[in-house]
Chains A and B, each alone.
Chain A
Amino acid sequence: MIRYFKVAIFLACLGPLAYLLWGFFGPTPFDRTAWGAGLGANPIEKITHTTGDWTLWFLLITLAITPARKLLRMPSLIKFRRMLGLFAFFYGCLHFLTYVWLDKFFDLHEMLTDIAKRKFITIGLTALLLMLPLAITSTSGWIRRLGGKRWQALHRLIYFAAIAGVIHYLWLVKADIRKPVQDAVVLGILLVFRIVLWAMASWKKRPQLATVTARPTALER
């Protein structure tokens, strides 16, 4: 059963890419002779925005798995988390490739200037680099090699990748911050959920220790 769900979700995750490809080759009211005209007047801008949006959204979906498992009591959702996380990385790579190829045309000098001078580029690249070790160590082999605890600690980097991604978006918009703020609010809720869980867990541990030490033993009496 899970297997079929996995295939279905995998195909659904390819949706944004299919949308771009369909737009690229599909019918259009715009000048058909122009490159990628099906994606509108400025196809490269459309590709950049679509891949960027979906990178961030896949990060948020991945981060929503744990809360969803607990709140819906559906522990089996964990089986989809790796795939969703890898799709975040996949769209992040497409987003980066769009920048390197279609925006900068592999001009290394220009890109290095950008990374040094423009903080939204710097933090965007940071977000992608934070995702890189997570993508590499996403296999079962790496979980075994690192050990569950260390693997889990490493994969907490996703919090920072998502935060960097939202800041990247906030810093690049001109005046209308509505969309990045929406993403920031969702991320905020997902992070607060974890803080609450963590606080509750440490609260549970505390009183047990207190009762043990407070009660005098029979010998003392």
Chain B
Amino acid sequence: MLIKKADDIRSSEITSESLYLNRRKFLAAAGLAGAAVAGGKTLLDLAGGKAAYAAETIPNLQKSGLSTSEKVTPPQTVTHYNNYYEFSTEKEEPAQLAQNFKTRPWTVTVDGEVKKKLKWDIDTILKFAAPEERIYRHRCVEGWSIVVPWVGFSLSELIKRAEPLGKAQYVEFTTVYAPMEMPGQRRDVLEWPYVEGLRMDEAMHPLALLCFGMFGQTLPNQDGAPLRMVVPWKYGFKSAKAIVRIRFSKNQPVNTWYRSAPFEYGFYANVNPNVDHPRWSQKTERRLGEFSKRPTLMFNGYDQVASLYSGMDLKKNF
């Protein structure tokens, strides 16, 4: 039997990446158009979120005492207004661009200052604890906010099982790097992959949510599927999406937005009406769907985290 060596493929026969990408784009467009014709769907249906992802209902949801009783933001808004630069810098676009993002198979690597380096399958992680519905306020650094019924459990449940060493002072989250599926990653608007982090005591706080669903169903791709963080007392960018790696470290992680603009985005990024973003005030916010602005609350109203920062100058550690 003749086994061809790798050298036998001339480099001219290999499809260039750009051509490959173009072909994918064309196929995707053709497929979309074909589906629209076959299904008799209007463009509006395609743009809308109805068939955007295979949402599965998450059974046996526990109610949480940490939930707010404020009016929940409608799902259409939560799923069609996303700051998800891996897909696009335009907030209306991830809803469509994330449709073909694959969330299975999916593994999460746990490494750094841990007893043993681990690789967990997503479905193993989801069984660590009973899923809870947590209705949280979510405040973006840009000055808008929403109220979302997330589904997940406290990150501490995962950290316990990861067995970090005593030296571990911080937890770092890394988002998947998949430029073939994430068109935004083909542009260097930010440094990819996206990295975020928390101090260990912040990560262990019961409010810090390891999240895999919303509105009682699995997460839509554009909202960070299959696994994301939700840290409700911090600006939204602190909550990493599509997590593939959790690393424990002695040193403070360098988070992506801090790297991009250190004077504008700090490591802590606690919601704080008294510390302005250099280019806009953080005193007020617009709750999506409301006309008037409402005052922004310290720690986004989650006063129970205040003790984590006692003695710290939050103007310096913004």
Contacts and interface: CB of A to CB of B under 8 A. Distances in A.
Do A and B originate from a single complex? yes
Interface of A: 29-31, 34-35, 37, 40-42, 44-45, 105, 110, 113-114, 117-118, 120, 171-172, 174-176, 178
B91 A105 contact: no
A176 B286 contact: no
- Report the interface size class on chain B: 20 to 34
A11 B279 CA distance: 36
B292 interface: yes
A34 B92 contact: no
Given A41-B80, A120-B279, A29 B44 contact: yes
Contact of B89 (A41, A120, A175): A175
A176 B83 CA distance: 12
Nearest to B278: A118
B280 A118 contact: yes
Given A40-B92, A176-B89, A105 B292 contact: yes
A183 to B, nearest CB: 16
A174 B265 CA distance: 11
A31 B76 contact: yes
Contacts of B77: 30-31, 41
Max count, chain B CB within 10 A of own CB: residue among A30, A41, A44, A118 = A41
Given A30-B77, A31-B74, A31-B76, A176 B289 contact: no
Nearest to B88: A176
Contact of B48 (A29, A105, A110, A171): A29
Contact of A42 (B76, B89, B286, B292): B286
A111 to B, nearest CB: 11
Pairs A-B, 5 closest by C-beta atoms: A41-B81, A176-B89, A34-B289, A35-B291, A41-B77
Interface of B: 44, 48, 74, 76-77, 80-81, 85, 89, 91-92, 142, 144, 187, 189-190, 260-261, 276, 278-281, 286, 288-293
Contact of B286 (A30, A40, A44, A120): A44
A40 B76 CA distance: 10
A42 B83 CA distance: 13
B260 A42 contact: no
A175 B288 contact: no
Contacts of B142: 174
Contacts of A42: 81, 91, 144, 286, 288
Contacts of B44: 29
A29 B76 contact: yes
Contact of A110 (B187, B190, B281, B292): B281
Contacts of A45: 144
A39 B173 CA distance: 35
Nearest to B89: A176
A37 to B, nearest CB: 8
B80 A172 contact: no
Contacts of A175: 85, 89, 189-190, 260-261
Contacts of A110: 281
Given A29-B48, A30-B77, A34-B289, A176 B189 contact: yes
A142 B102 CA distance: 64
A30 B144 contact: no
A109 to B, nearest CB: 11
